[in-house]
Chain A
């Protein structure tokens, strides 16, 4: 079964704190893709990152960084020096490379609140 688990339902931090959002996935496929999306209150899902299963290099983009570990089936997301504008719901998602739709399977999301 293909599944994404985001165990943290809600996280609240104070501005400038670092915060890590956890994502654990399950799949039997050897080739798959992992994503993070941000959903601000406006509702539109905003793409943040895409990573394929063969690329375990960690990635940094400004204040955002991602840690992909196949050994633990995790793809965690860290925001450094959080800001109020980072407040949103963050979704981790998985898609498979079996042809067909390549649809996304989402976790339930983690609601991040950054307080001033």
Chain B
């Protein structure tokens, strides 16, 4: 068990560019979450996958954001036409469906800076 892995750890991009982040959850976990955290705030939910199905999306997830989990393993989060307001830490978490509301295990996050 190597924990939740996110890549890259840091990304600096120019406004208007597209960026893609990757998350590798803990291998036996079928639930995967993306959260966004801005400075001085707690993480905010973006989207949820159960296996390969994207079952819930937050209103925070505008049309410029898309997430996939094609084979129910790793997931990608793409932001198109980045804006300065997209600058944040993007956190991925996974959990097993062994019992109700079990704890989520978080990765170290991808810090995005849009200049």
Contacts and interface: CB of A to CB of B under 8 A. Distances in A.
Q: Please indicate whether A and B come from the same complex rather than being unrelated chains.
A: yes
Given A43-B109, A45-B43, A93-B42, A104 B104 contact: yes
B45 A33 contact: no
A101 interface: yes
Given A50-B101, A95-B101, A100 B56 contact: yes
Contacts of A47: 103-105
Interface string B77-115: 000000000000101010000001111111111010000
B100 A102 contact: yes
B44 A106 contact: yes
Contact of B45 (A97, A104, A108): A104
A45 B91 contact: yes
Contacts of A97: 100-101
Interface string A85-116: 00000010101110011111111110000000
Given A91-B42, A101-B56, A104-B45, A42 B108 contact: yes
Interface residues of B, number: 27
B48 interface: yes
A106 B55 contact: no
Chain B contact residues, majority secondary structure: strand
A106 to B, nearest CB: 3
Question: For the side of the interface on A, what is the size category?
Answer: 20 to 34
A97 B101 CA distance: 7
A55 interface: no
A3 B87 CA distance: 24
Interface of A: 4, 33, 35, 37, 42-47, 50, 52, 91, 93, 95-97, 100-109
Given A43-B89, A44-B108, 11 more contacts: A35-B103, A42-B108, A44-B109, A45-B93, A91-B43, A96-B101, A101-B48, A102-B100, A102-B101, A103-B45, A104-B104
18 contacts: A37-B106, A43-B109, A44-B106, A47-B103, A50-B101, A50-B102, A52-B101, A91-B43, A95-B101, A96-B101, A100-B56, A101-B50, A104-B33, A104-B43, A104-B45, A105-B45, A106-B42, A109-B41
